[in-house]
Amino acid sequence: MAPGPLESRRIDVNADFTAEELAFESEVREFLSAEFPGEYRDKVDANIRLSKDELVNWQKILYRKGWAAPNWPQEYGGTGWSATQKYIFATEMGLIGAPEPVPFGMKMVAPVLMAYGSDEQKRRFLPDILESNVWWCQGYSEPNAGSDLASLKMSAVRDGDDYIVNGSKTWNTYGQYADWIFCLVRTDNSVKKQEGISFLLIDMHSAGVSLKSIYLLDGHPEVNEIFFDDVRVPANNLIGEENKGWTYAKVLLTHERTNISGVPRGKRRLRALKRIASDTDDGFGSNMMENSTFKNKLAETEIELQALEYVELRTLAALSVGKAPGPESSILKIVGTELAQKMDELFVELAAYNCLPFLPEQFEEGFQGNPVGPGTAASSALVYFNNRKLSIFGGSNEIQRNIISKAVLGL
């Protein structure tokens, strides 16, 4: 069978786009270069984190344009774009360095609400997610339930119209900013562990919720432990049926893994690697493009990124005809995160001794001193350390390999 337009797309080559798609690509490019604030772009280029306010502001700019949620159905405020348009949009966003929405509301809890929430829950939560008025975080992992998530213990006991929740969640990304958390909780201890789990939405401002930040290797409090002490949660915050949470959670995880592959961001980073490696005047002084071992590694990375893009396009095409991402999303998660870590190593190799001194202040907004080394050299180490997380979160890569061997290869 002849390849369809998506299958025949080559990385960075637009030859297969129709005239309408090319016009759409120009529209997206013009919009992003006019509307993605220059100061945010400078920060992204310098590997400095955008603040919560900046992330929300950017998302609201997209919202006003009607482009906040490309993957949502139109009835909830999605764009109605084809798979190719979504691909173009994601690519252009990645190339300019514009951040994707923080995923917990838009890409995680929203699809679960759409699939399993009541009409009242959809009306109550989806508009605020679309407009980025409310910040969500994900409450799955617990101190003794990560890979073996079904062992989770945080309990929700029914008391009249409420649940009383006790226990703790951990590794909650950006939980310190969150207004709401979606949690897996134990509602029945007497059955097989997967069958006693429910999916509950909890207001982070409820009495009895407290939080302690955890610092990652790069010195940033990106994740948290959250404690729940006799927290009263209205029973109408339960999604779907009691004890069916495991089914809903699995749907969410496949979406999470598809979102993790990061091809557009990878393309942007690959361009930066090539630029730094070819430029003898940028202060790195390495001219690593003359080094055949380095050049080979760069070429291998580019080929792998291109292969990953094709796999992602196949998943996108399936989504566009209404299929949920299947266990193949584990492939995207593994390859995407390993590739990102490979690029981290190449950045560190380019920066050489310039990324060894660690001066955390230089990555803070408004730093006035002399940064260590040229350009992004010092932050290469920071990004390297931060990205160790990639092969752990969203289900570790070892667990993804187990899923592929069972569900895809049938071993």
Ligand X SMILES: Cc1cc2nc3c(=O)[nH]c(=O)nc-3n(C[C@H](O)[C@H](O)[C@H](O)COP(=O)(O)OP(=O)(O)OC[C@H]3O[C@@H](n4cnc5c(N)ncnc54)[C@H](O)[C@@H]3O)c2cc1C
Q: Is 255 in the site for ligand X (CB under 6 A)?
A: no
DSSP 49: P
Q: Is 138 in the site for ligand X (CB under 6 A)?
A: yes
Cβ-contact 367, 361 below 8 angstroms: yes
Q: Is 245 in the site for ligand X (CB under 6 A)?
A: no
Q: Is 396 in the site for ligand X (CB under 6 A)?
A: yes
Q: Which of 222, 225, 256, 328 is catalytic?
A: 256
Nearest to 375 by CA among 351, 348, 391: 351
Instruction: Kindly indicate which of the ranges 139-147, 279-287, 346-354, 364-372 contains the residues binding ligand X, using the contact rule CB under 6 A.
Output: 139-147
Instruction: Kindly indicate which of the ranges 74-82, 84-92, 284-292, 393-401 contains the residues binding ligand X, using the contact rule CB under 6 A.
Output: 393-401
* Residue whose CB is less far from ligand X, 169 or 297: 169
Q: Which residues contact 215 (CB under 8 A, 6 or more apart)?
A: 221
| Nearest distance from C-beta of residue 103 to ligand X, angstroms | 9
* Residue whose CB is less far from ligand X, 61 or 154: 154
* Residue whose CB is less far from ligand X, 24 or 174: 174
| Nearest distance from C-beta of residue 292 to ligand X, angstroms | 34
Report residue 336 as tokens.
């995407």
Q: Is 404 in the site for ligand X (CB under 6 A)?
A: no
Report residue 94 as tokens.
């990645």
Return the CA Rg of the chain.
22
Instruction: Kindly indicate which of the ranges 29-37, 52-60, 167-175, 245-253 contains the residues binding ligand X, using the contact rule CB under 6 A.
Output: 167-175
Instruction: Kindly indicate which of the ranges 79-87, 285-293, 368-376, 389-397 contains the residues binding ligand X, using the contact rule CB under 6 A.
Output: 389-397
* Residue whose CB is less far from ligand X, 146 or 373: 146
Residue 47 φ/ψ, nearest 5 degrees: 60, 35
| Nearest distance from C-beta of residue 175 to ligand X, angstroms | 7
* Residue whose CB is less far from ligand X, 28 or 112: 112
3-state secondary structure of 234: strand
Cβ-contact 134, 169 below 8 angstroms: no
Cβ-contact 174, 91 below 8 angstroms: no
Q: Restricting to residues 204-223, which ones interact with ligand X according to CB under 6 A? A: 223
* Residue whose CB is less far from ligand X, 172 or 286: 172
Residue 68 φ/ψ, nearest 5 degrees: -70, -35
Instruction: Kindly indicate which of the ranges 14-22, 317-325, 353-361, 387-395 contains the residues binding ligand X, using the contact rule CB under 6 A.
Output: 387-395
Helices (H), 97-206: 103, 110-116, 119-130
3-state secondary structure of 194: helix
- Exactly one of 8, 18, 118, 147 binds ligand X (CB under 6 A); that residue is 147
Neighbours of 161 (CB within 10 A): 9
3-state secondary structure of 262: coil
Q: Is 8 in the site for ligand X (CB under 6 A)?
A: no
| Nearest distance from C-beta of residue 263 to ligand X, angstroms | 21
- Exactly one of 67, 171, 248, 363 binds ligand X (CB under 6 A); that residue is 171
Specify whether the backbone of 121 is left (phi greater than 0), alpha (psi in -120 to 50) or beta: alpha
Cβ-contact 267, 11 below 8 angstroms: yes
Q: Tell me how far apart the alpha carbons of residues 68 and 60 are, in angstroms, rounded to a whole number.
A: 8
- Exactly one of 155, 173, 243, 247 binds ligand X (CB under 6 A); that residue is 173
Neighbours of 124 (CB within 10 A): 15
Query: DSSP per residue over 347-391, as a string?
Result: HHHHHGGGGSS--GGGGSTT--SPPSSSTTHHHHHHHHHHGGGGG
Q: Is 399 in the site for ligand X (CB under 6 A)?
A: yes
| Nearest distance from C-beta of residue 226 to ligand X, angstroms | 10
Report residue 173 as tokens.
């990304």
Instruction: Kindly indicate which of the ranges 65-73, 117-125, 166-174, 330-338 contains the residues binding ligand X, using the contact rule CB under 6 A.
Output: 166-174
Closest residue to bound ligand X by CB: 146
Q: Is 393 in the site for ligand X (CB under 6 A)?
A: yes
Q: Is 140 in the site for ligand X (CB under 6 A)?
A: yes
Cβ-contact 266, 339 below 8 angstroms: yes
304 noted as active-site residue = no
- Summarize as ranges the residues that interact with ligand X (CB under 6 A): 137-141, 146-147, 171-173, 223, 389, 392-393, 395-396, 398-399, 402
Catalytic residues: 256
